[in-house]
């Protein structure tokens, strides 16, 4: 798969600042910016969806997840637990 440089629109959408990344065409964080580990288990298909979306945006999975969480925090796309169950999420991803 050929890596593409992120478009200006995707950079704006994800709030990215242009830095040279370690993978050609990807941006990376400024030196010294604090980060913490965020982990969770998902089905392989969901990981593949995240990887594909990140590749299409020209960003790392970490940057994609950060943008996803920030966007959800702002727009509240994920509904409270009363609207879905873990089993429904697992069945939807299959």
Per-residue model confidence as pLDDT tens digits over 30-63? 777 888 999 999 999 999 999 999 999 999 999 9
Question: What is the pLDDT at residue 45?
Answer: 96
- CA 76 → CA 5, 35, 51, 69, 81, distances in Å? 29, 23, 22, 10, 13
pTM summary value = 0.57
Question: What is the pLDDT at residue 33?
Answer: 82
Can you tell me the mean pLDDT for 56-76?
92
**Nearest-CA neighbor of 64 among 29, 14, 24?**
14
* Cβ neighbours of residue 2 closer than 8 Å, sequence gap 6 or more: none
Judge whether residue 6 has pLDDT over 70: no
* Cβ neighbours of residue 94 closer than 8 Å, sequence gap 6 or more: 43, 45
Delimit the domains of the chain by residue range.
8-93
């Amino acid at each position: 798969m050929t890596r593409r440089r992120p478009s200006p629109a995707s950079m704006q959408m994800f709030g990215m600042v242009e830095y040279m990344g370690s993978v050609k065409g990807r941006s990376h964080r400024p030196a010294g910016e604090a980060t913490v580990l965020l982990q969770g288990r998902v089905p392989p298909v969901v990981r593949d969806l995240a990887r594909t979306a990140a590749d299409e945006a020209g960003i790392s999975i970490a940057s994609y997840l950060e943008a996803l969480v920030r966007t959800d925090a702002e727009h509240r796309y994920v509904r409270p637990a009363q609207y879905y169950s873990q089993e429904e999420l697992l069945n939807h991803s299959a």
